[in-house]
Amino acid sequence: MKKSVAYTEYHPKWYRTRVSTYWWSRRWTYLKFILRELSSIFVAYFVLLLLLHLSALWKGEASYVALQAWLRTPSVIVLNGVSFLFVLFHTITWFNLAPKALPVRLGGKRVPDALVAAPNYLAWLALSAGIVWLVARG
């Protein structure tokens, strides 16, 4: 065999089928994946809304009242409704993923996913109820 192999600077050209940019639209599972990933945009929007509240609180009562009026605009309510659904989707997918990312074993057997996720859901409901009480009591 000849030893002098000349290496090229570049990669050899492999045969690879091109994946369509819209590959995720083909199946419900793929679509669910991309929706889950896109939920992060609405998580960021939630933070933006939080920062707007903090900014208005800092500026004074007039700013806060103006923000509350802006939040009553129909288009903003629709946007917040959609964002709420996406954020809820984030929570559900996140809790359901936890047992898969961190499988719990007891006595050599894997604890069912639902049993690992359940405490998270319970804590979430309790925390949410606590916040409603804290914020809405007056």
The residue ranges that bind another protein (CB under 8 A) are 19, 21, 24, 34, 37-38, 40-41, 43-44, 46-51, 53-55, 57-58, 61, 64-65, 68, 71-72, 76-77, 80-81, 83-84, 87-88, 90-91, 94-95, 123-124, 127-128, 131-132, 134-136, 138
Contacts of 136 (CB under 8 A, 6+ apart): none
- Residue 83 or 113: the one with the smaller Cβ distance to another protein is 83
Instruction: Please choose, from the candidates 70, 93, 80, the residue with its C-alpha nearest in 3D space to the C-alpha of residue 42.
Output: 80
Q: How many CA atoms lie within 13 A of 109 on its CB side?
A: 5
- Residue 6 or 62: the one with the smaller Cβ distance to another protein is 62
Cβ atoms of residues 116 and 104 within 8 Å: yes
Minimum distance between the CB of residue 101 and another protein, rounded to whole angstroms?
A: 9
Minimum distance between the CB of residue 88 and another protein, rounded to whole angstroms?
A: 5
- Residue 65 or 111: the one with the smaller Cβ distance to another protein is 65
- Residue 84 or 115: the one with the smaller Cβ distance to another protein is 84
Contacts of 105 (CB under 8 A, 6+ apart): 111
Contacts of 116 (CB under 8 A, 6+ apart): 98, 99, 102, 103, 104
86: number of Cβ within 10 Å: 19
Beta bridge partners of 105: 110
- Residue 94 or 113: the one with the smaller Cβ distance to another protein is 94
Minimum distance between the CB of residue 3 and another protein, rounded to whole angstroms?
A: 34
Minimum distance between the CB of residue 98 and another protein, rounded to whole angstroms?
A: 9
